[in-house]
Amino acid sequence: MPEILVQYEAEIWQSIGETFIMVGVSIIAAILVGLPVGTLLYLCRKGQLYENHFIFSILNLLVNVTRSFPFLLLVVFLLPFTRMVIGTAMGTAAATVPLSIIAIAHYSRLVEQSLLDVPRGVMEAAVSMGASVREIILKFLYVEARSGLVLGLTTSIISFISYSTIMGVVGGGGIGDFAIRYGYQQFKDDLMMYMIIIMVILVQLIQFTGTTVSRMIDKR
């Protein structure tokens, strides 16, 4: 192993850990909140099963506004909220707040798009069989859209990694922050390159896993 990596081994592991925490919490938020929000966006859309202009417009606006912010500004804008939720606006835990919010907005849009690919007829068959809303969603919609949902999540996770790299501004740490502070600001170009290589490997692994899983579960 290159000497410089050995020298900074502890810091590198720590920053990888921080990235995992930030991205991990984002993924959980995306699934627990983004998936339902995206589903609601889909169901309330014009011409869909539970068309509801009011709910759709509100959710649509929230998602759009959140995604319009340059992410760095969103982080700053959310500082008071973060302080309220976590008790401090600094550190890895605090960094998960804006990351989770952008994660929800990001993934909910991709969920909505995947669900739009489900043939309308399948939904009608479900209704004709007397399925409840919950059953339509769980036994038909998600089953039919599952490969798109997985691909969407994969795309989202890679974006989350990218977003997490700037969380250094609020002391969130992570690989990106490490690369900037140790590599760029201390002129250790090789260290920066190694960090970039780690990121590339990470993204490749995630994309490969996502694509493989999505292909395996797609029987259409």
119, 190, 204, 216: which one contacts another protein (CB under 8 A)? 119
The smaller minimum CB distance to another protein, of residues 16 and 49, is found at 49
CB atoms within 10 A of CB 12: 21
146 binding another protein? (CB under 8 A): yes
**Residue of 75, 77, 97 lying closest to 86 (CA atoms):** 97
Dist. CA 121–CA 131, nearest whole Å? 14
- Single out the segment in contact with another protein by CB under 8 A; choices: 59-67, 126-134, 168-176, 190-198: 126-134
Contact pattern for another protein over residues 77 through 116, marking x by CB under 8 A: ----------------------------------------
* Total number of residues that touch another protein (CB under 8 A): 22
Dist. CA 213–CA 154, nearest whole Å? 10
Residue 137 exposure: Cα atoms within 13 Å on the Cβ side: 16
201 binding another protein? (CB under 8 A): no
61 binding another protein? (CB under 8 A): no
C-beta pairs of 135-144 under 8 Å, 24+ apart in sequence: 136/49, 137/39, 137/43, 141/39, 141/42, 141/115, 144/118, 144/119, 144/220
Instruction: Report the first-to-last Cα separation within the chain, whole angstroms.
Output: 46
Are the beta carbons of 45 and 30 closer than 8 angstroms?
A: no
139 binding another protein? (CB under 8 A): yes
32, 73, 143, 200: which one contacts another protein (CB under 8 A)? 143
49 binding another protein? (CB under 8 A): no
- Give the sign of the dihedral formed by CA 195, CA 201, CA 204, CA 208: negative
2, 70, 80, 121: which one contacts another protein (CB under 8 A)? 121
16, 86, 131, 199: which one contacts another protein (CB under 8 A)? 131
144, 157, 174, 182: which one contacts another protein (CB under 8 A)? 144
**Binding interface with another protein (CB under 8 A):** 119, 121-122, 124-125, 127-132, 135, 139-140, 143-144, 146-147, 217-220
